[in-house]
Amino acid sequence: DADVTQTPRNRITKTGKRIMLECSQTKGHDRMYWYRQDPGLGLRLIYYSFDVKDINKGEISDGYSVSRQAQAKFSLSLESAIPNQTALYFCATSDGDRPQHFGDGTRLSIL
């Protein structure tokens, strides 16, 4: 089983819809992250969380919100999806002093 699991793996939806992407981890790490990947731009940090009570904005948090329901779960929401949020989204974890471990990504298309 994967250490970092993202659901769904693929999602197609319409402009204006509310979308939730979920991430769960079995590594026991305190720190969790949400990135989006766009061609030619690499990965950009949306939000990160150091523990259940500590959530921080990243480079591109506008239009997104997150919830850290438990140490192992970190979800990303798009309250009202727009086409330029079409991207590949990655969840990652770390224990602060080790490389970040990534899920396999969620491919989100907004029509």
E strands in 1-111 = 4-7, 10-13, 19-25, 31-38, 42-51, 54-57, 65-70, 73-78, 87-94, 101-102, 106-110
> Which residues lie near another protein (CB under 8 A)?
4, 31, 33, 40-45, 48, 50, 90, 92, 94, 96-97, 99-100, 102-105
Shortest spacing between CB 48 and another protein, in angstroms? 6
Shortest spacing between CB 96 and another protein, in angstroms? 7
Shortest spacing between CB 10 and another protein, in angstroms? 10
Nearer to another protein, 9 or 18 (CB): 9
Nearer to another protein, 31 or 68 (CB): 31
How far is C-alpha 8 from the chain's CA centre?
11
Whole-angstrom distance, CA of residue 106 vs CA of residue 110 = 13
Nearer to another protein, 40 or 62 (CB): 40
| Omega prior to 8 cis, within 30 of 0 | yes
